[in-house]
Amino acid sequence: MKRFFQPVEKDGSAKKPAISPSKKDKDENGEISEDSTTKEPLKFLTWNANSFLLRVKNNWPEFTNFVTSFDPDVIAIQEVRMPAAGSKGAPKNPAELKDDNSSSRAEKQIMMRALSSPPFQNYRVWWSLSDSKYAGTALFVKKCFQPKSVFFNLDKKASKHETDGRVILAEFETFRVLNTYVPNNGWTEEENSFPRRRKWDKRILEFVLQNSDKPLIWCGDLNVSHEEIDVSHPEFFSAAKQNGYVPPNKEDGTILMMQDCGQPGFTLAERKRFGNILKQGKLIDAYRLLHEEKDTERGFSWSGNPIGKYRGKRMRIDYFIVSEKLKDRILACEIHGQGIELKGFYGSDHCPVTLVLSEASPKSRESEISS
């Protein structure tokens, strides 16, 4: 591992990166002051890492090269899968990595060494973590782009974190960036996965409608494939079952039960709710806006296990959803993985997705906020 990472300084702090030439003021801690931050992020990357720590251990050089090449201003990570700080029986701190025993300290050191090396040393990171090695999100923002505020819940309440660390919301001058790891519909009634997902979709819709004062960039693993074009084998996913499982729905009747059948993420009920969120929230699927035709090789962000019935079966469940106000500024939105060999997946079962916006003109800045 050492050959990939630069040593961490003895006091635990990483060497401060040099900001590109500009007249930006720093405070006494080396952070960019609010007055000096005049530009907004334009390049975004989202990735479900399927355990960020495992990617650091096993796939870091490849992913580092990708980040260096694309040079995103904002990186949204899902499925961090590192536990929150706090000893056994004590309250947890979802904003900090666990380090109260030898095993967690060793894991945290591995992560911090990786993030103290280029290019990640140029970013500030926010964590929202589960109590165990489950779910969790992270948000990296270049230090030259200072968010006005960062929340970890859809209610925008200070210090509150969503269950399992599923949300990080960063507010910038002219738009908001929402990083989410949306709960999966699942297969079993015991986990209450179907009611949980319906509740989540309702809350997301409420959030979008209540925060329409600024444009939104919503990204992450949204665990839904909106249309048939978004899966490789629509008939397979529509009829998919696990051990013959058919979801019961005692409260809503047979019609909704049938809408809950199929592959989690591709049930009719989920897809309809997602479409309603986009319509009511005046939101656009950035990738589909630029890629109208089905791409059977590069058009999916998740790929099933190369062994078994999911071999070659793929879904697009990782998105950049943006407000219609930003439509004319979308320059590119790309999926960076392909094939049964999972090229560009960097060890995960998801591949990165990127978004590039053009700079806003002074007039468009005003209209995006005020309209």
- Count how many domains the chain has: 1
Q: Is residue 33 part of a domain?
A: no
What pLDDT digit, counting tens, does each position of 27-84 carry? 434 444 444 445 899 999 999 999 999 999 999 999 999 999 999 999 999 999 999 9
- Is 31 assigned to a binding site? no
What pLDDT digit, counting tens, does each position of 96-105 carry? 999 999 999 9
Q: Examine the residue annotation and report whether 233 is marked as an active-site residue of this protein.
A: no
Q: How confident is the model at residue 305 (pLDDT cuts 50, 70, 90)?
A: confident
CA 261 to CA 269: how far, in whole Å? 9
Q: Examine the residue annotation and report whether 346 is marked as an active-site residue of this protein.
A: no
- Is 223 assigned to a binding site? yes
Average pLDDT over residues 172-194: 86
Of residues 217 and 257, the one with the higher pLDDT is: 217
Q: Examine the residue annotation and report whether 221 is marked as an active-site residue of this protein.
A: yes
SS (H, E, C) 231-296: ECCHHHHHHCCCCCCCCCCCCCHHHHHHHCCCCCCCCHHHHHHHHHHHHHHCEEEHHHHHCCCCCC
What pLDDT digit, counting tens, does each position of 90-146 carry? 899 999 999 999 999 999 999 999 999 999 999 999 999 999 999 999 999 999 999
What pLDDT digit, counting tens, does each position of 146-180 carry? 999 999 999 999 999 999 999 999 999 999 999 99
Per the residue annotation, which of 123, 181, 319, 346 is the catalytic one? 181
Nearest to 81 by CA among 119, 51, 46: 51
Q: Is residue 214 part of a domain?
A: yes
Q: How confident is the model at residue 339 (pLDDT cuts 50, 70, 90)?
A: confident
- Is 62 assigned to a binding site? no
Is the dihedral angle over the CA atoms 98, 99, 104, 107 positive or is it negative? positive
Per the residue annotation, which of 221, 260, 285, 318 is the catalytic one? 221
Per the residue annotation, which of 161, 233, 336, 350 is the catalytic one? 350
Average pLDDT over residues 279-289: 98
Q: Is residue 270 part of a domain?
A: yes
- CATH number of the domain that residue 198 is part of: 3.60.10.10
Q: Is residue 21 part of a domain?
A: no
Round the CA-based radius of gyration of the chain to a whole number and report it: 21
Average pLDDT over residues 333-353: 95
Question: According to the model, what pLDDT value does residue 260 have?
Answer: 82
- Is 48 assigned to a binding site? yes
Domain that holds residue 96: 43-370
Q: Is residue 13 part of a domain?
A: no
Q: CA of 123: how far to CAs of 55, 236, 265, in Å? A: 18, 41, 32
Q: Is residue 11 part of a domain?
A: no
Q: Is residue 233 part of a domain?
A: yes
What pLDDT digit, counting tens, does each position of 221-240 carry? 999 999 999 999 999 999 88
Give the end-to-end CA distance of the chain in Å, rounded to a whole number: 51
Q: Is residue 28 part of a domain?
A: no
Instruction: Tell me the whole-structure pTM to 2 decimals.
Output: 0.87
Mean pLDDT for the chain overall: 87
Q: How confident is the model at residue 256 (pLDDT cuts 50, 70, 90)?
A: low
Q: CA of 224: how far to CAs of 161, 183, 272, 360, in Å? A: 23, 10, 10, 30
